[in-house]
Amino acid sequence: MAELLAGQTIWPWALAGLLLGAIFGSFLATLVIRWPEGRSVLSGRSSCDGCGRVLGLVDLLPLAGYALRKGRCATCGARIDFRHPAIEIACAGIGAISLSVGPGIEGLLGAAFGWLLVALAALDVEHFWLPNPLVALLALMGLAGGIAEVGVDLPARLFGGLAGFLSLAIIALSYRLLRGKTGMGGGDPKLLGAIGLTLGWQALPLVILGGALTGFLLLGLRHFRGAAVRRNQEVPFGALMALVAWPLWLVAPLG
Tens digits of residue pLDDT in 174-231: 888 888 777 788 899 999 999 999 999 999 999 999 999 998 888 888 778 777 767 6
pLDDT in tens, 105-157: 999 999 999 999 999 999 999 999 999 999 999 999 999 999 998 889 999 99
Which residues on neighbouring strands pair with residue 79, listed in sequence order?
A: 72
Half-sphere exposure of residue 6: CA atoms within 13 angstroms, side-chain side: 4
Please provide the size of the chain in residues. 255
Identify whether the C-beta of residue 16 lies closer than 8 Å to the C-beta of residue 102.
no
The reported pTM is 0.88
> How is the chain split into domains, by residue range?
1-103, 131-250
Which residues on neighbouring strands pair with residue 54, listed in sequence order?
A: 47
Tell me which DSSP letter residue 131 carries.
-
Residues 152, 158, 162: CA angle, nearest 5 degrees: 130
